Structures are given as C-alpha cells and as structure tokens.
C-alpha cells in the first residue's frame, strides 16, 4: 500500500518536470518573437501579434506554475 503513495509523488514529479520544460520552451518562443519584432524595420502587425500570443501563453503557464506551487527556479 505504501508503494501507491510513492508512485503518486513520482508521477507528480514527472508532471512538474514536463510542465517546467514546456514553460522553458514557451519562454524561448516569447524571447525569439521579441527579437524578431526588434529586427523588423517596418511596423508589422503579424509580428506584433505573434509576440503578444507568445507572451500571453508564457505568462498564463507561469501563473499556473505559481498556483500549483511548482518550483520556478529550476535550471535546465
């Protein structure tokens, strides 16, 4: 019976690791979109929209991580 509890914590740890990996990927996507926006000379609505979408995804997942008490200071 005690194995059941251990497995649950390992599943949670696995989920947290996958969640943090997704959060890191979203952060990189957002940073790339920001860099692209800075490199574009003309005012391009599609580039701005892409940056805003990436930013929104990242901050939504960031809030979700805080709500679930996932440690945010992990390094990959």
**What does the alpha-carbon distance between residue 32 and residue 76 come to, in Å, rounded to a whole number?**
18
Token pair for 54: 């990436």
Share of the chain above pLDDT 90, in %: 50
- Would you state the structure tokens that stand for residue 35, as one six-digit string? 């860099």
pLDDT of residue 73: 60
Q: What is the pLDDT of residue 30?
A: 95
Question: What are 12-48's pLDDT values in tens digits?
Answer: 888 888 999 999 999 999 999 999 999 887 888 999 9
pLDDT at 43: 81
Backbone region of residue 69 per phi and psi (left: phi > 0; alpha: psi in -120 to 50; beta: other values): left
d(CA 23, CA 17): 10
pLDDT over threshold 60, residue 76: no
């Amino acid at each position: 019976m005690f194995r059941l509890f251990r497995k649950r914590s390992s599943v949670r740890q696995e989920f947290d690791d996958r969640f943090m990996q997704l959060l890191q990927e979203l952060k990189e996507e957002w940073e790339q979109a920001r860099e692209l926006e800075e490199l574009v000379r003309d005012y391009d609505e599609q580039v701005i929209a892409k940056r805003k979408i990436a930013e929104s995804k990242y901050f939504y997942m960031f809030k979700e991580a805080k709500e679930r008490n996932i440690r945010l200071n992990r390094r990959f």
